[in-house]
Amino acid sequence: MNESLDFFDAIKKLDENGTGVLPVVDSKGRFLGIITDGDIRRAILNKDFNLESIINRHPYKLYVDSTIDERLIYLKQVKRRHLPIVDKENILIDVFTLDSVDFRVMPNAVVLMAGGLGSRLGELTEATPKPMLTVGGRPILEEILFSFIEFGFHKFYISVNYKKEIIMDYFGDGSRWGVNIEYLVENKRLGTAGSLSLLREKQLNPLIVVNGDVMASLDFVKLLKHHKEHKSKVTMCVREYEHTIPYGVVQINNSEIVSIKEKPKMSFKINTGIYVLDPDVIERVPRNVFYDMTTLFHDMEKYDQKRCAYVLREYWIDIGSKDDYQRANRESLIPKKIDNNEN
């Protein structure tokens, strides 16, 4: 609404847009404030029809480059249902409202494995656990958390060991993000699956487990659907990996050359560090011993339990080295897209 309109124009505009909030801008589109239906009701009760006096000129707002997750979390923090969105010049771009969001609450818990030493990153992890290194201005672990919040996950466990206080102090109970966070505290190294034995609460739904140094633009709801449809006990997200042999490859048979392939490419499916486990699988994890996720998958074969793969085609990076860390920060500036194709 332009600031030149009067009180009764404001009532009409509020009625037309149906959101309960009316942004006020000047003739150049610069954001000046908001009027809510509550402001109008109070003005009528007070018989004050001066529009200038009821405009809230210091409302909560966010910039246009904020993500949907950031907007939702901010609205929870300030206990509002609407949020003006402006650019760096304070030009009004949009009004973000909770009514425009398709909310879903996922019953599945998520375990973030953040207890590793990160020794391959050298001095970068001498004072900071690897999951707390920043990518795009935020800790890796927070980026992972955001990727789940986007899909309606709200129950998290973080497995911690090395410099655990830094992680626990930063994330607390999760209320800052509108979620619930509990901690699986390792007193010794338990591997990439061993800390699951520290879960005190019995899981009623498949559990997603993610390594704390893995970033991916993945539709986790689709992953769970895949796990259920294939009646899998354990599902591993895998990714295509190609390696080019930098030489001509020669095949021989009894000293006779059979074929020559110049710099052939070899293709593999690699483990991405993202898993789905059925509740009864978690109960099989041995207590207080080092136990890796690959061992768990091998054990499922021994128990004749179905193991499935989910092919990840979206953006993914495992931050295992300094080069990976630098690449993740470069790529954090590039928008990531979620693949909509079926596996």
Residue 277: closest CA among 329, 199, 172: 199
Domain span holding position 225:
110-331
Q: Is residue 257 domain-resident?
A: yes
Same domain, 226 and 172: yes
Same domain, 326 and 216: yes
pLDDT-based confidence at residue 102 (cuts at 50, 70, 90): low
Domain count along the chain:
2
Q: Is residue 32 domain-resident?
A: yes
- CA distances, 2 to each of 10, 13, 29 (Å): 9, 11, 8
Long-range interactions of 80-85: CB distance < 8 A, separation 24+: 81/20, 82/19, 82/20, 82/21, 82/34, 84/23, 84/31, 84/34, 84/59, 84/60, 85/61
Burial class of residue 217 (count of CB atoms within 10 Å of its CB; 0-12, 13-18, 19+): middle
Same domain, 96 and 121: no
Q: Is residue 181 domain-resident?
A: yes
240 strand-pairing partners: 269
Q: Is residue 177 domain-resident?
A: yes
The domain that holds 53 is classified in CATH as: 3.10.580.10
Same domain, 50 and 143: no
Last residue of a domain, one of 78, 100, 122: 100
Average of pLDDT values for 291-297? 95
Structure tokens at 26: 């000047």
Same domain, 178 and 316: yes
- The secondary structure element, H or E, covering residue 135 is strand 134-135
Is residue 262 pLDDT above 90, yes or no?
Answer: yes
Q: pLDDT tens across 135-173, in order?
A: 888 899 999 998 898 888 999 999 999 899 999 999 999
Same domain, 96 and 122: no
Query: How far is Cα 173 from Cα 182, in angstroms, rounded to an integer?
Result: 7
The Cβ of residue 178 has, within 10 Å, a number of other Cβ atoms equal to 15
Is residue 332 pLDDT above 80, yes or no?
Answer: no
Same domain, 195 and 70: no
Mean pLDDT computed over every residue of the chain: 88
Same domain, 137 and 83: no
pLDDT-based confidence at residue 184 (cuts at 50, 70, 90): very high
The domain that holds 299 is classified in CATH as: 3.90.550.10
Query: How far is Cα 57 from Cα 5, in angstroms, rounded to an integer?
Result: 16
Same domain, 291 and 226: yes
Q: pLDDT tens across 229-246, in order?
A: 999 999 999 999 999 999
Name which of 10-14, 23-27, 215-219 the model is least confident about: 10-14
Last residue of a domain, one of 100, 128, 161: 100
Is residue 57 pLDDT above 60, yes or no?
Answer: yes
* pTM, entire model: 0.70
Q: Is residue 342 domain-resident?
A: no
Same domain, 168 and 77: no
Residue 235: closest CA among 246, 226, 247, 222: 226
Q: Is residue 52 domain-resident?
A: yes
Q: Is residue 341 domain-resident?
A: no
Same domain, 161 and 289: yes
Last residue of a domain, one of 67, 100, 133: 100
Q: Is residue 188 domain-resident?
A: yes
Same domain, 20 and 147: no
